[in-house]
């Protein structure tokens, strides 16, 4: 994927945030609308304030969902389900 292409980059960013949302729903038992609100709030309050917001994409969506949910879950028991989320 060519991330220098604005459309490809936007699609990759949407897929990333969708994976974070799916992690909130699947692993933290958020309702769909609550996960959407949490992701939007995080983007608005944290990412928009970062000096280099692209750095957020270095974090695995699973761990970012943990941060948003304020609950540290280990990846190991959820690895297969998480793999399916990130692979779409």
Question: Residue 19: phi, psi to the nearest 5?
Answer: -65, -40
Helices (H), the chain: 6-28, 32-45, 61-69, 79-87
Q: Report pLDDT for 7.
A: 86
The Cα–Cα gap between 31 and 25 comes to: 6
Q: Report pLDDT for 65.
A: 98
The Cα–Cα gap between 79 and 26 comes to: 12
The per-residue pLDDT for range 26-68, each reduced to its tens digit, is 999 999 999 999 999 998 887 777 677 667 778 899 999 999 9
Look up the pTM and report it.
0.89
Kindly state the percentage of the chain with pLDDT values over 90.
Answer: 64
């Amino acid at each position: 994927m060519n991330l220098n292409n604005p459309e490809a980059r936007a699609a990759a960013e949407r897929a990333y945030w969708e994976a974070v949302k799916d992690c909130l729903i699947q692993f933290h038992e958020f309702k769909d609308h609550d996960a959407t609100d949490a992701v939007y709030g995080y983007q608005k309050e944290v990412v928009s304030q970062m000096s280099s917001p692209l750095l957020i994409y270095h974090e695995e969506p699973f761990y970012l969902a943990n941060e948003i949910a304020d609950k540290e879950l280990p990846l190991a028991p959820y690895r297969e389900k998480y793999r399916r989320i990130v692979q779409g």
